[in-house]
Amino acid sequence: MIRAMAAVLLVGLIMVVQVTVVNRLPLPGGGGPDLVLLGVVVFALARGAVGGAAIGFAMGFGTDVLPPAAHVMGQYALVFCLVGFMVGRAAERAPGSSAVAVIVAVMLAPVMSAGVGGLLGDPRADWRTLAALWPSLVMYNLALAALIFWVVSRFSRERRRRAAVPTGAYPVRRHV
């Protein structure tokens, strides 16, 4: 319950930070990291396909509803739902290749968003715009994803190592 509430708060925080801070940073290249996407990816990695899909849908829907929104409602819900499901499924099927899944998701997400927009006849979803923007979006997202993964793996590994200490690190004492 607490974890669920923390997750909800975290989601809200991520979305707010995305629109209030990240999108306003004058970053070179025109693009910027997409915290919401990365949040969905991380959640999906942790929760699997179903959880990923649900979280993706929820965060996408939140993104659709979030005030500065001028796109068709459900667009990001659809995209993030798919992303969450795929990443979660990949994590379930091939736990060792989560990095690849993340990279693919990060690279595909903008294309999917643009694709959905294009299908809906959004005049702003232009291939040329996407081509200009896509590299920077991918680079920022990958960099941020790498950072997140490093942090997460560090913490989790440390916890694991600490758990291992009593058994492996002090054999003498154990024998004594």
Partner 1 sequence: MRDTRRARLILGLLLAVALVLITVDHRQRGDSLFDPVRAVGASLFGVAERAGTGVARPVGDFIDTFTSAPESKRRIEVLRAENARLRRELTAHSLDRERSAELTRMLGLSGLGGYRVVAAQVIARRGVPGFEDAVEIDAGTGDGVKPEMTVLNGDGLVGRVVHTAPASATVVLLTDPASSAGARVEGSNEIGLITGLGPVAEGRLVRFRLLDAAAPLTAGRRIVSFGSQHGMPYAPGVPLGTIQRVEATPGELTRVAYARPFVDFNALDVVGVVVQAPQRDPRDAMLPKPPAAAARADSVTPPHRTSPPASPSPVPSSTARGAREGGRGQPGATRARPVRVQRPQARSRPNGAHGRPSGVRHPASGRRPSSARARPGGAVARPDGAAARPGGGGRARSTKDHAARDGDQHRPAGRRDHPTKIREHTARASGGGERGHRRSRSDELERSHAAAPGGSVERLRGVAFGALRSGVSKGSRAAAPGGAGAGGPERFRGVVVGVFRRGVPGWLGGDGSGGSGAGAAPGCGGRGDRVGSCSWGGGVELSRGSGAGRVVGVVRGAWRGGREDMKA
Q: Please report, as ranges, the residues that interact with partner 1 according to CB under 8 A.
A: 12, 15-17, 19-21, 24-26, 48-50, 53-54, 56-57, 60-62, 64-67, 69, 72-75, 77-78, 81-82, 85, 88-89, 116, 120
Measured from the CB of residue 98, what is the shortest distance to partner 1 in angstroms? 17
Minimal distance, residue 22 CB to partner 1, in Å: 9
Name the token pair of 165: 């200490």
Give the up-direction half-sphere exposure of residue 150: CA atoms within 13 A in the CB hemisphere: 6
User: Least distance to partner 1 from the beta carbon of 77, Å?
Assistant: 4
| Alpha helices (H) along 32-97 | 35-65, 75-93
